[in-house]
Structure 1
């Protein structure tokens, strides 16, 4: 005799139930994978942003530190201006700072045992190699050395602007204390004279812009940073030191 199984006691899953379970499992797995991939992308972007910030800050610090030394002259005491002096015995041979070239600044300062007439200039510039911008520093031998890593940072802009402030020295010219005051020493004439003595306090505002340099163009465009700085040159420029009228 054969015993028939009661359908109420049937065990296992139907094909429909199995397919629904598999679909739900795949959906959950896909969500977990997407979450993991998004987390990896966010971590990578955060890492690139941090590295870009650090590289730009390091470059800005190098620019500020070296530019601040521009025009240093150990014999500056011989070029002091005084109202009663007929002339200044010496002028600073390192006074010039050139920002005429876009994306560059050129200057110099005294270094031990280096003749100023033969020494190479110093400075910074932005240049490109294979379409990637690089910030460079000019060393004592006249060569250019990278201060940013082109494999990770693309310097898109380096701009430096002079913002000087003039301190008028003509007010202290000794000829203004003599009576009668000569026409050349009258305030209206002396204050407008192009040869009047001035002390130029030199400030430079610089901007460095960069973006990440990776194999992913969209990521590079998304990760951009800009850093600004202001440098006060410690060595003021004495302009027209012999500009006081003789009488």
Structure 2
């Protein structure tokens, strides 16, 4: 018995089919490449924005922590040498009290080295300000010392911003509220914090001619962008409650 083989002719792709397949492949490759590039660009922008946010939060932390100390007098209030200053705090005087100048500069002072007896020196005066060069790039400077608290040019200043960050806005706004000290006392005139307005009833506001405890806060608004890419920008705001309330003999 003889076996026979049947051979079938094989045909390849036509030129039109090859061109269609190539066109589909190029389209898919281009779509994949575009998606990859878009993902990379998005990731780069996210990294840049994260870097900017981190730098801005660091700046706000530096300013907040130091401004919060404004008016600090002493850690040794029991010493007789400090008794006079407890009521007449020299860091609350006109020359050393907090100031927001042109909303872009903030000046303040506190007993940096906790000296005893208390004395205000050049190294006890501090500040933050925005400095803009050529109307474009901006940086934040911190004051390390000064002869007075009257302006934002006196003293020794240093830059605290990174070159990669461009500060476009820095604003300071001071807000105050007053509490009459007598409203903090109980029926026997003792400051207990239990039987006074802190128990739930409203504290009495300061009235003219009477003593006053002035509670102070500072609102800081910060806007920045990347120096290498001005489209990457961010704005933040923080409120700083100054720990040392200001006592006024006669409001």
Aligned counterpart for 1:79 among listed residues 77, 85, 89: 85
The corresponding residue for 1:192 is 208
Q: TM-score, normalising length from structure 1?
A: 0.71
**Counterpart residue number, 1:225:** 234
Deviating 4+ runs (over 6 angstroms): none
State which of 151, 154, 158 in structure 2 corresponds to 1:145. 158
For 2:108 and 2:235, locate their aligned partners in 1 and report how far apart those are by CA, in whole Å. Answer: 24
1:123 matched to 2:139? The reply is no
Q: In the aligned structure 2, how far is the partner of 1:77 from the partner of 1:68?
A: 23
Cα shift readout 1:50-74 (whole Å, capped 9, x = no counterpart)? 1111111111111110001111122
In the alignment, which residue of structure 1 is the partner of 2:217?
203
Quick check: which one's strand share is greater?
2
* 1:163 aligned to which of 148, 151, 175: 175
In the TM superposition, residue 78 of structure 1 has moved relative to its aligned partner by 2.4
Q: Deviations over 1:136-163 (max 9, x none)?
A: 2222474322322231x22221111111
Q: How much is the aligned-residue C-alpha RMSD, in angstroms?
A: 2.8
Q: Which runs of 5+ in 2 are unaligned?
A: 1-7, 147-154, 185-205
* Higher Cα Rg, which structure: 1
| TM-superposition CA deviations, 1:70-120 (whole Å, max 9, x none) | 111226542345xxxxxxxxx222220111232110111112369625446
The structure with higher relative contact order (CA 8 Å, sep 6+) is 1
Distance in 1 (CA, whole Å) between partners of 2:37 and 2:99 is 50
Q: Distance in 1 between matches of 2:169 and 2:68?
A: 21
What CA distance in whole angstroms lies between the structure 2 residues aligned with 1:191 and 1:235?
21
Q: Indicate which of 135, 140, 156 corresponds to 1:135.
A: 140
Distance 1:129 1:150, change over 3 A: farther
Structure 1 residue aligned with 2:247: 238
Could you tell me which runs of 5 or more consecutive residues in structure 1 were left unpaired when the two chains were aligned. Answer: 1-7, 82-90, 173-189
